């Protein structure tokens, strides 16, 4: 295909040519997707309806769960439908939308993780300044900045990517992804997108460095806490965040920069799943299991639901 206008649809990578494996992938992705939806919706509801959790940390967590809902919904539903129907076509407009929203939610995820690191830094290293720095207005402004910056980043990447012409419509991935789209380009117009990717990479490295420095300061401050219980509580609020960060950051870096990403085999598929599906799936689990406030909020919410159900049944 010598002209971009000829491309009306793309062909995505199928998981397997064996029908039984297609069904297996469908069932696996479907279960993961439903679990991620349920977990993130539960976190959002618990934080929204529990006034004791209306604090900056849980406000950021609620926004992270909202992002995760969109993050996993951009790629997985289409992959599930394709796996079940054995049709791997995606229209040009759907591909554009998928790229835009994928970049938007990935950027939002990383920026929110950076904000959450800053929140923990202020709470532990400067507790006397916490209410002043992390007041309601400041938190709303920071989250609004995340959404605006992510929107701009997504629009920039999408416009640069689809300004190129394509020599093929076969994408070596189960969803529309920028590196795979650049591989099928046949013009020099991909250079601005590479420049944009380099800028985003440098921005990501800067955010990651900020997070690492913040946590180094946090761990230094934690060592000065006299009570063992206080140290454990401080660390318990930081470890889940670090686990989520490393899972999201390093799998993404390996996927984009590592040689395995260029393969179309099962290893490449597993690696892609690690940074596109596992983080939104694991986030509510990681933040809930070790968080007593979230668990208490879940039981409170479930208790209210049961009470309302029995009240309705009794006609009260």
Cβ burial, residue 141 (10 Å; 0-12/13-18/19+) = exposed
Question: Cα–Cα–Cα angle for 246, 249, 252, nearest 5°?
Answer: 130
The string of pLDDT tens digits covering residues 55-69 is 898 899 999 999 999
Backbone angles phi, psi at 10, to 5 degrees: -120, 160
**166-193 burial code (b ≥16 CB/10 A, e <16):** bbebebbbbbbbbbbbbbbbeeeebeeb
- Cα distance between residue 241 and residue 238, in whole Å: 5
Is the alpha carbon torsion for 103, 100, 149, 122 positive or negative? negative
Which has more pLDDT, 146 or 168? 146
Q: Which domains does the chain have, with CATH numbers?
A: 4-314 (1.20.1070.10)
Q: What is the pLDDT, as a whole number, of residue 256?
A: 61
- Cα distance between residue 314 and residue 202, in whole Å: 61
Q: What is the pLDDT, as a whole number, of residue 2?
A: 43
The string of pLDDT tens digits covering residues 210-236 is 988 988 888 888 887 777 777 777 777
Which has more pLDDT, 233 or 245? 245
Which has more pLDDT, 241 or 33? 33
Q: What is the pLDDT, as a whole number, of residue 80?
A: 87
Which has more pLDDT, 241 or 55? 55
Mean pLDDT (whole number) for 241-261: 66
Mean pLDDT (whole number) for 244-266: 61
Backbone angles phi, psi at 89, to 5 degrees: -80, 145
The string of pLDDT tens digits covering residues 105-139 is 999 998 998 998 899 889 888 888 898 889 999 99
Which of 11-25, 232-246, 298-312 is predicted least confidently?
Answer: 298-312
Backbone angles phi, psi at 132, to 5 degrees: -75, -45
Q: What is the pLDDT, as a whole number, of residue 160?
A: 87
Which of 20-34, 96-110, 293-307 is predicted least confidently?
Answer: 293-307
Average of per-residue pLDDT values in the chain? 81
Query: Residue 312 — very low, low, confident or very high, per pLDDT cuts 50/70/90?
Result: very low
Q: What is the pLDDT, as a whole number, of residue 266?
A: 56
Predicted TM-score of the model (pTM): 0.85
- Cα distance between residue 70 and residue 106, in whole Å: 10
Which has more pLDDT, 13 or 74? 74
């Amino acid at each position: 295909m010598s002209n971009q206008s000829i491309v009306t649809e793309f062909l995505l990578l199928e998981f397997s040519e064996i029908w039984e494996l297609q069904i297996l992938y469908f069932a696996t992705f479907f279960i993961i997707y439903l679990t991620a939806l349920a977990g993130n919706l539960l976190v959002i509801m618990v934080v929204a309806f529990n006034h004791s959790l209306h604090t900056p940390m849980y406000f950021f967590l609620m926004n992270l769960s909202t992002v995760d809902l969109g993050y996993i919904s951009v790629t997985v539903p289409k992959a599930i439908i394709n796996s079940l129907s054995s049709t791997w076509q995606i229209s040009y407009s759907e591909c554009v939308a998928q790229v835009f929203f994928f970049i938007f939610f990935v950027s939002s995820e990383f920026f929110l993780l950076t904000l959450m690191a800053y929140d923990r830094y202020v709470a532990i290293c400067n507790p006397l300044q916490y209410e002043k720095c992390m007041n309601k207005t400041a938190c709303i402004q920071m989250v609004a900045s995340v959404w605006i910056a992510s929107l701009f980043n997504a629009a920039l990447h999408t416009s640069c990517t689809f300004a190129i012409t394509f020599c093929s419509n076969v994408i070596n991935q189960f969803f529309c992804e920028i590196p795979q789209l650049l591989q099928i380009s046949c013009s020099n117009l991909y250079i601005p997108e590479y420049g944009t990717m380099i800028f985003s990479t440098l921005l990501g490295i800067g955010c990651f460095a900020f997070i690492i420095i913040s946590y180094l300061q946090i761990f230094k401050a934690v060592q000065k806490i006299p009570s063992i219980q206080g140290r454990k509580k401080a660390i318990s609020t930081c470890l889940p965040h670090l686990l989520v960060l490393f899972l999201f950051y390093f799998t993404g870096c390996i996927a984009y920069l590592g040689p395995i990403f260029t393969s179309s085999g099962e290893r490449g598929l597993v690696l892609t799943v690690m940074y596109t599906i596992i983080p939104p799936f694991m986030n509510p689990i990681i933040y809930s299991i070790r968080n007593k406030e979230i668990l208490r909020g879940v039981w409170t919410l479930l208790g209210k639901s049961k009470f309302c159900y029995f009240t309705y049944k009794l006609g009260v």
